[in-house]
Amino acid sequence: MGDTRRVVDGEDRSRVRPLRPAAPPDGSALPPSPPLPRPRGETADSPADKVDKPVGAARAADKVDKTAAAPKADGGGTTDSVAGPKADDGGTTDGIAPKAEPAEPEPTGKAATRRRRMPPPRQLAVGAARATRAWSRRPSGRAALPGVFLLGLVAATAAAGALLVPATARQPKPVAVDATATSTGVPQGGVLPGATGGVVPPGLPGATGLPGTAPPTGTAQPTGPVGGPAPTGRPADALAGWAQQVSARTGIPLVAMQAYGYAELVLAETHRSCQLSWTTLAAIGYVESRHGAANGATLKSTGRAEPEIIGDRLDGQGGRSRILDTDRGQLDRDTVYDRAIGPMQFIPSTWREIGADADNDGVKDPHDIDDAALAAGEYLCKAGRNMTIPGDWWGAILSYNDVRRYAQDVFDKADEYGRLSRT
């Protein structure tokens, strides 16, 4: 019973009961005792000692550490001395020293910064929403929030417009369709068709048609869109003498030649700044229908092409444009898709807009070459074009049929007619 021992519960190691040391019989001072053995695997800074010790037990353990204990000598001459544990003591029991495991230091500085984990996107979104809500409740937020909302609405509308408008915009419709051109080429800017490429002097149906500037003898010029009726009832017949000479040189049928010349004279009165030459109208008539001879048709003395020239369906197949019916089949006899009609191959919707009555019979007939040639000239002279300016000339032809090959074919033929008419 003279031993001083530290009793530790096997199940709860934090409950420690210190024993008072026994005094020796002779009352001498107690010699220093070796440190109290510690259970293996525990260190002075063990979490069990820091957390699980009751307050009373901790105070008692401190008293044992501060009080020197003396062992009682037994008859066997051995002395077992026990002393309170020290944090830095390496005391042993039965010659075995438990090795303390060093505690892992906590990272500080840059190491701690690296180990910080960024919050997940959801937490960021929630945080941003809370910050925005708090800002919107402030006076500055209440004043600026409507502007931010309006700016976002404008940006969304602009983005939607950029996507939807091009998708819903309809392709421009051609005025006429080229059903006969087969050559390829690219329009050349800066030049005009004809032998000289210069300004056409007034007076003749094209100064490239006959030498000189005076009209042919006995030929009357119209004074308005529709001239007085000739003896045969067709105003263009007044140009028969001039037309016969030019027709012989160019190979253009006489009736068609009269229609092209008459249209130039009318336009010279109604569109003075346009200065359109008959060579351009004749080139369009050739490319479109071979001057009214497409599909086996022929031009009658009245100027009408019979049988009527009606082009293929504009259904988007075979490289053709896709144009749904616009006239309920009244002009092209097709109630599903539009078709090009007449010697100048007008689209029905364009003819309703620009159609003319050049033979003064009270009918705007797209199958009559007199009416069709004058309507084509009216269209080319739109928007104040000057057909002696290369840019205006090419723009007018491409507005008639927006195909570069087509425009080049018209240029080549108009240039050929201008040269042939001077020989």
Please spell the DSSP secondary structure of 318-331, one letter per residue: TT--B-B-SSTTTT
Specify the amino acid at residue 220. A
Give the CA dihedral 413, 415, 420, 423, nearest 10 degrees: 180
| pLDDT bucket at 213, cuts 50 / 70 / 90 | very low
- In this prediction the pTM is 0.53
Residues 401 and 87: their CA atoms lie apart, in Å, by: 102
The three-class DSSP label of residue 305 is strand
CATH of segment(s) 235-420 = 1.10.530
Closest-CA residue to 195 (of 417, 411, 386, 392): 417
CB-CB neighbours of 198 under 10 Å: 11
Q: Looking up tokens 């417009």, which residue turns up?
A: 161
Q: What phi and psi, each to the nearest 5 degrees, are found at residue 151? A: -65, -45
Reported in sequence order, the residue ranges of 212-309 that DSSP labels E, i.e. its strands, are: 298-299, 305-306
pLDDT tens-digit series, residues 309-330: 999 999 999 888 899 999 999 9
pLDDT tens-digit series, residues 354-369: 999 999 999 999 999 9
pLDDT score of 19: 59
Pairing of strands 305-306, 16-17: unpaired
Residues 203 and 234: their CA atoms lie apart, in Å, by: 21
Highest mean pLDDT among 10-14, 37-41, 378-382: 378-382
Q: 307: Cβ–Cβ under 8 A, 6 or more apart, which residues? A: 295, 296, 297
| pLDDT bucket at 293, cuts 50 / 70 / 90 | very high
Whether omega before 307 lies within 30 degrees of 0, making that bond cis, reads: yes
Asked if 344 contacts 289 with a C-beta cutoff of 8 angstroms, the reply is yes
Tokens of 144: 């600026």
Give the CA dihedral 281, 282, 287, 292, nearest 10 degrees: 110
User: Could you give the residue ranges of the DSSP H alpha helices within 201-277?
Assistant: 240-250, 254-270
Within the chain, which residue ranges are assigned CATH 1.10.530? Answer: 235-420
384: which DSSP letter?
G
